[in-house]
Structure 1
Amino acid sequence: MRATPWRRIPSHALLALVLLAPFQAEAFDPQEGGAAIYAKRFNGRPMANGRPFDPAANHAAHRHLPFGTVAEVTNLRTGARTTVVISDRGPFTPGRIIDLSPRSARELGIRDVGRVEIRPIGRAD
């Protein structure tokens, strides 16, 4: 009896695809929530991706989006938009969904904490 193409795929690989597919799709849906700005004490320190934090770059921290994801962030109060690259993990404060570099926060008009929408749009790679 000849095996069908899907039978050639190892069962553990199929199981991983079935279990992880919903999380991948969910991670890329637009999200709304709180945003904060990195504190000055993080300047030059390594981010979770291993590179030093640069406050003049459009970096951001997100709990789940893969490193290198390019996301459009919109200030829901003013409508201002900017593009960031996910380079770090966080925030770990309840109610917040993203930490922004000072440059990104300035472009959005956020001085301390704001409410934003995050929409992943691609990869920086």
Structure 2
Amino acid sequence: MEEIYQLWLAAVPSPIPENEARIYWNCKDDPTPVLDEGLRRASYLHVGSWGDEHEPENPHAGQGRCPANRLHSWLFYLGTINRYQAPVLDEELMAQLVELYHPRSSDLPADAIGLPRLESFLRQHLGLYLLTEEPRSETYR
């Protein structure tokens, strides 16, 4: 059975310590009290979903065969390259994400929100920290 992946963006209002970002990006179950509090206060946006067929043949950051997959891989790359972090959503990152979200001729059909909705969310949350985290039922607003 094919795996379905969901991309949610979490705009976290406070920085995440590097040790907790390492735990987050490595999918560990160790305690992350600062991250947990930030996620409780975060704003969320469901961007889209994809399946195994959307994965790139040669995995590279920002690649993929649908917009949500490209955003997910780029944010993972930024969160783990050089040091573990929650990337700051600034104008440069916003422009990168918008560019990656544009359809490509190699894209396969996939569930996704419209670009204006993504741009609006990103614009509203400039200066916050961006993670690819699905809201827990008690945190979603």
State TM-score, norm by structure 1. 0.29
Larger radius of gyration: 1
Instruction: Report the structure, 1 or 2, having the larger helix content.
Output: 2
Instruction: Report the structure, 1 or 2, having the larger strand content.
Output: 1
State TM-score, norm by structure 2. 0.27
